[in-house]
A and B are shown apart, each in its own frame.
Chain A
């Protein structure tokens, strides 16, 4: 494997459409729940330990060889908000397109054929990591970092937050990113163990306000970010 492939996959400039999404931060800012760096840190922590953990475990399981279509079903059940299901599928399609160009693989082609409307982005992330020669832990890291980097970058634009402060928020979260990535990797590898796919062992951590706010955001007329 080449570890540098992880930098390519997790790079914010990787052309997979992530820059158009705020990870729910736009609605949280609009509702006054994020007003400063401390609010951003609390938001990122909450997202990391809920949606971030759940996504990372799906990515790790996909990378470890679990059935991606069953993981997609499990991701659906873990995403009660239809706005977030649509977002996850749209981001999945975009990531799949970029990944097929970057790391051509039969598995990626098969997924595109089996689900033309898209597969949840964390599942594609896991399969893409595998195609890039990376392992389940790498897939987890890419997913947990994305769970917090999206809101941090968006908040710089939404609040005019000092980019140094936003970056410091991410740096301080690093030990927790390690911790959540490790738990996600363990669960994902377990879900794929023995050539089976056991979705019940995958975390299902959710956050009520993320789901409610995603529905509010989806019907807003004026917005900077797609989610």
Chain B
């Protein structure tokens, strides 16, 4: 089942209350947290794994030295004016991989302001974070504001994928406003805001997305890029470009007609950054 982020009651399942009963008249204030830290055996422990509201967290089988967490839908979605927040901290030397069980659906509603989803990711020196959730789908009539704030220590490693799908097959999208702010060693590395869907100016015009209805980014940061910066590279004409950022990182920006093509482009981008990512 898809996780839902909605700005008002739409489906009967939206009546389900979160276990801790945090729904108030202003809507849900959910605050989920993950902290990963090195354990004594060369692996990664999860001293904090706290789901809340629509975000349930499941620890899944770990890889070598790495803890893995899957985001699972606990309810259809918060109601009007809700704010969902997720803070992820990877302590120095730890390794964490975050995935999701299914796409997140931004769902329409009949009342309340836009829904908000604020994600904060902090990665320490010598730590690694793979952030690889499934796409966010902006369903017709929905309104969602998403922010990602990423703070990287100078020797942090990050693979961050974000995919936005504008409307389900054959339907127009809702309004999806997002901002991605990344700092490396306290200096600005990337700051990108987008505004798509009905009411957003010229979002489907020739300067922004044209006919594409899926868009995404793959951000790969690692100390190895300082010695060997990524080379600018057009991966697919009018669809994807890999570019070095003003810091130890490479960004791939992609647009595509659909989610499948978008994933293919971002997977290809990842193969081009593997060597710099793994350089020790």
Binding site for B on A (CB under 8 A): 24, 28, 31, 33-34, 39, 42-50, 73-74, 76-78, 80-83, 85, 176, 199-200, 203-213, 215-216, 218-219
Contacts and interface: CB of A to CB of B under 8 A. Distances in A.
Nearest to B230: A82
Contacts of A219: 234
A83 B253 CA distance: 14
Nearest to B183: A77
Nearest to A210: B207
Contacts of B190: 77, 80
Contacts of B192: 78, 80, 204, 206
A74 B191 contact: yes
B201 A209 contact: no
A73 B247 CA distance: 11
A204 B188 CA distance: 12
A48 B205 CA distance: 12
A31 B238 contact: yes
Which of A28, A47, A205 gathers most chain B CB within 10 Å? A205
Contacts of B207: 24, 28, 42-47, 50, 207, 209-210
Contacts of B203: 46
B193 interface: yes
Contacts of A49: 195, 201-202
Given A34-B206, A212-B239, A212-B255, A45 B181 contact: no
> Which 8 pairs show the lowest CB-CB distances between chains A and B?
A46-B207, A33-B206, A42-B205, A77-B188, A46-B202, A45-B202, A204-B191, A215-B241
A78 B195 CA distance: 15
Contact of A212 (B206, B241, B244): B241
B62 interface: no
Contacts of A81: 232, 241, 243
B234 A77 contact: no
Grouping DSSP codes into helix (H, G, I), strand (E, B) and loop, the A interface class, with mixed when no group exceeds half, is helix
B232 A218 contact: yes
Contacts of A47: 207
A70 to B, nearest CB: 9
A76 B192 CA distance: 11
A34 B205 CA distance: 10
B147 to A, nearest CB: 11
26 contacts: A45-B201, A46-B203, A49-B201, A73-B187, A76-B246, A77-B191, A80-B251, A80-B253, A81-B243, A82-B232, A83-B232, A199-B188, A203-B193, A204-B193, A208-B209, A208-B215, A208-B255, A209-B206, A209-B208, A212-B238, A212-B254, A215-B232, A215-B233, A216-B237, A216-B241, A218-B232
A74 B194 CA distance: 17
Given A80-B192, A199-B188, A215 B209 contact: no
B46 interface: no
Interface string B209-247: 110000100000000000000001110011111011110
Contacts of B210: 33, 209
A212 B234 contact: yes
Contacts of B246: 73, 76-77, 85
A73 B238 CA distance: 28
B interface, how many residues as a size bin? Answer: 35 or more
Contacts of A46: 201-203, 205-208
Contacts of B194: 205-208
Given A42-B207, A212-B253, 8 more contacts: A28-B206, A45-B201, A73-B246, A80-B253, A176-B201, A204-B181, A205-B194, A209-B238
B189 interface: yes
B179 interface: yes
A207 B202 CA distance: 10
Given A34-B206, A210-B207, A218-B232, A80 B243 contact: yes
A212 B212 CA distance: 13
Which of A24, A39, A42 gathers most chain B CB within 10 Å? A42
A21 to B, nearest CB: 15
Contacts of A50: 207-208
Contacts of B244: 82
A134 to B, nearest CB: 26
Which of B206, B232, B241 gathers most chain A CB within 10 Å? B206
